[in-house]
Chain A
């Protein structure tokens, strides 16, 4: 028994990144087609895209800021932008029934405490007694709450009063894919009318770079466009990104007179072994099912990890040889859990504004003007594949657009 399908509209967009905050900054970034916030020094040899810091107080009180680490601040800020953009911020009744799915990793460590422990461990050994003493006495009691994965959602509830439901998905890029997939499926089926979905990611942290370095995945030494990363020292250049969407059933959006950017089709997902051949077929299936044939622009969330990025680009070129493709990681960096929400947000902006998006690198030669149907992909650097079609509202929906 499947209920009649509701269209899923994107009625709010909140982005915070190296490009700054909000719609105009990100449309401008797409049009300028230049990498943003590239920093090759602070975390050398790794390359990161630094956050363009916003006026935090416009979304988060100083008291709440102190309770969060940067990854939560970035996400909570972007969530506030999305709610504001959808015209529902401070609408406590609506936020009190709004569903929420957040894609999250974990929070920042206290580097000073960790470093002091590692220093002492060199002379005394990494004993339980050392850990017990240092951790008990030196950790800030509330730091744990800034590290717990579900406390980004918790902070959004506290700061923005979104409390209809609250779920946090984990698992790198796949978490962002599943968050939008589930939020959209719930709306399409009538289980939900309006949902806030997205994530926050802080790239500027040593503990995170250590993690990606262990896998040999972090871009080293210099910035390169995503499609040109073919060397052993190439990989993903992490980007600090907050990206949230307000998704809404068409009826719900119309009833409250909301503007809408575009509609989101069901998210198509893939999972399985990557052995050099299986992923090629799987990614082709994922993008076909998502509707690549109907796209007049592809926004690829490719990480830049050489082998899998090459596979994705080959599949996209074969599946849609005449459709222009843009790897937005070149501009903003790779936001892991936020990558897919960011891509969908950029697609919706580009459609609404009929943006002219020049190539981000030489391989992306075909011009793109005023796309009305954008395929967004995110192929995880190590696992998980997802894609969805974002398309302009038809004549029936246009009455509700701004």
Chain B
């Protein structure tokens, strides 16, 4: 079979030749795909910290990675490494010699409470509690390891060192669209002809008590704590917020020509990407949905396909009242009434919202959907929202002929990024 090496605009066509994933469902593609297509939830009661006094007590934390000492950046790195080991191995690329740059979506980093308390104890308590005392402590002893841990670029540096990616590793954030943006940056770099390949990763291991409280104070999280596996219910009438979660997704992108030349198996084609920012509000979308409509439309146009070609939508579907309604309205505007017949599901019903990692994890799941011809379900869809009349693939995975997938990612700060994946 011969495949085109360039797209409808004469740009290099982009192949995905390796993917890897970790989520609360498990480590690796097999564990995740088996449970995802069985409709299993990875959401559970939080055990990492006491939740007695918190409004939300459930999350999709990843508790099975072995860390010398737990911290958000240490877990974010471990997750990214596990996913990227799997992706680069599948792509058949030599360890330590990745032929292109790294684009890493990673959560912002800051000193954690465990570190503040330790610093406060590190010196005699003569000084008043506060930053002056912490600074005094910082000037005594060797804190280089803590310093390194807290650098925003650290996770990307460690990954770059491990895989031997080229150039200056890029760490990025577009909030909950970050994972999709990492993929988009890889696509753009290959299309520019700067590189033949890119390692695009999204990771998030940042479920700490303070992070949970921050989202809780913004009324973004569900408080349906009774049965953790039923807390995330995208597109349901009784949805009341998202479930914080952790995980990582990693993708090896390369030009089709490069993949063919080295005899790599092409898993899927990354055909298009679209983006549009929103200036309406820091956490809410424009009421008319125009930025999301523009992002979706641009992705489809960039892919060189028609709206009618899209056979499945991998939804952002966070399970917040506003997102799911806004996502439906915007898709309806782009697709017309055909949207009521296009399967659209949200894996966040099972793995929760992996925040910075979400777009990359969903990219991996999109590739698996194309490969297997199976659409993961939306679980917990027991009370459909009549205002969102969608075929959400309720409860049970569905076999289907899927040629093109639209994957949506939206984030605080007016971030909207969409990707289109296609069969090779």
Partners in one complex: yes
Q: A residues near B, CB below 8 A?
A: 1-3, 67, 100, 104-106, 109, 111, 114-115, 117-119, 121-122, 126-129, 131-133, 135-136, 139, 141-145, 147-151, 153-155, 157-158, 161-172, 174-175, 177-178, 181-182, 185-186, 189, 191, 206-207, 209-211, 213-217, 269-271, 382-386
Question: Any chain A CB within 8 A of the CB of B139?
Answer: yes
- The tally of CB-CB contacts under 8 A between chains A and B is 251
B420 CB to closest chain A CB (Å) equals 17
Range, interface on chain B: 35 or more
Q: Report how far A383 CA is from B172 CA in the complex, Å.
A: 16
A157 touches B277 (CB 8 A): yes
A129 touches B192 (CB 8 A): no
Partner of B414, one of A2, A129, A163, A385: A163
By a CB distance below 8 angstroms, the chain A residues around B178 are 150
A154 touches B414 (CB 8 A): yes
Partner of B192, one of A2, A121, A214: A2
By a CB distance below 8 angstroms, the chain A residues around B217 are 136, 139, 141, 144
Say which one of B17-25, B105-113, B324-332, B399-407 lies at the interface with A.
B105-113
By a CB distance below 8 angstroms, the chain A residues around B76 are none
Proximity bits, B234-246, A CB within 8 Å = 1, else 0: 0000000000000
Question: Any chain A CB within 8 A of the CB of B173?
Answer: yes
Question: Any chain A CB within 8 A of the CB of B30?
Answer: no
Question: Any chain A CB within 8 A of the CB of B398?
Answer: no
B415 touches A174 (CB 8 A): no
By a CB distance below 8 angstroms, the chain A residues around B209 are 128, 131-132, 135
Highest count of chain B CB atoms <10 Å: which of A119, A132, A189: A132
Partner of A167, one of B49, B143, B181: B181
Q: B residues near A, CB below 8 A?
A: 6, 10-12, 49-55, 106, 108-111, 113-114, 116-117, 120, 125, 128-135, 138-139, 143-144, 146-148, 150-153, 156-157, 160, 167-175, 178, 181, 185, 188, 191-194, 209-210, 213-218, 275-283, 291, 411-415
By a CB distance below 8 angstroms, the chain B residues around A119 are 128-130
B414 touches A118 (CB 8 A): no
A162 CB to closest chain B CB (Å) equals 7
A118 touches B120 (CB 8 A): yes
Q: Report how far A57 CA is from B213 CA in the complex, Å.
A: 32
By a CB distance below 8 angstroms, the chain A residues around B12 are 1
A-B contact pairs, 26 of them (CB 8 A): A3-B193, A106-B110, A114-B130, A118-B129, A122-B129, A128-B49, A131-B49, A132-B53, A144-B218, A145-B283, A145-B412, A154-B413, A154-B415, A158-B280, A164-B277, A166-B174, A169-B171, A170-B153, A170-B171, A174-B153, A189-B191, A189-B193, A207-B111, A207-B131, A213-B139, A271-B167
A85 CB to closest chain B CB (Å) equals 21
10 additional A-B residue pairs with CB within 8 Å, beyond A3-B192, A216-B147: A104-B173, A106-B110, A126-B117, A131-B210, A163-B276, A171-B152, A174-B168, A206-B135, A210-B131, A214-B147
A135 touches B153 (CB 8 A): no
By a CB distance below 8 angstroms, the chain B residues around A141 are 217-218
B276 touches A164 (CB 8 A): yes
By a CB distance below 8 angstroms, the chain B residues around A117 are 113
Partner of A172, one of B108, B152, B414: B152
By a CB distance below 8 angstroms, the chain A residues around B279 are 157-158, 161-163
Q: Report how far A106 CA is from B58 CA in the complex, Å.
A: 27
B135 touches A175 (CB 8 A): no
B277 touches A165 (CB 8 A): yes
Nearest to B182 among chain A residues (CB) is A167
Q: Report how far A143 CA is from B131 CA in the complex, Å.
A: 19
A96 CB to closest chain B CB (Å) equals 9
B223 CB to closest chain A CB (Å) equals 13
Q: Report how far A213 CA is from B132 CA in the complex, Å.
A: 12
Q: Report how far A167 CA is from B415 CA in the complex, Å.
A: 8
- In the complex with contacts A1-B10, A114-B131, A132-B52, A210-B111 CB distance below 8 A: yes
Partner of A158, one of B128, B214, B414: B414
Partner of B413, one of A157, A181, A182, A217: A157
Q: Report how far A158 CA is from B283 CA in the complex, Å.
A: 11
B171 touches A269 (CB 8 A): no
Nearest to B209 among chain A residues (CB) is A131
Nearest to B215 among chain A residues (CB) is A144
A186 touches B53 (CB 8 A): no
- In the complex with contacts A151-B282, A271-B160, A115-B131 CB distance below 8 A: yes
Highest count of chain B CB atoms <10 Å: which of A114, A155, A167, A206: A167
Q: Report how far A113 CA is from B6 CA in the complex, Å.
A: 56
B185 touches A182 (CB 8 A): yes
List the 6 closest A-B pairs by CB distance, nearest first.
Answer: A171-B153, A154-B413, A215-B147, A2-B193, A206-B131, A128-B50
By a CB distance below 8 angstroms, the chain B residues around A161 are 279
Q: Report how far A373 CA is from B236 CA in the complex, Å.
A: 61
B153 touches A384 (CB 8 A): yes
Q: Report how far A164 CA is from B128 CA in the complex, Å.
A: 48
By a CB distance below 8 angstroms, the chain B residues around A154 are 282, 412-415
A113 CB to closest chain B CB (Å) equals 10
B248 CB to closest chain A CB (Å) equals 17
B53 touches A129 (CB 8 A): yes
Nearest to A2 among chain B residues (CB) is B193
B213 touches A139 (CB 8 A): yes
By a CB distance below 8 angstroms, the chain A residues around B181 are 167
Partner of B277, one of A122, A135, A166, A215: A166
- In the complex with contacts A122-B125, A136-B53, A131-B113 CB distance below 8 A: yes
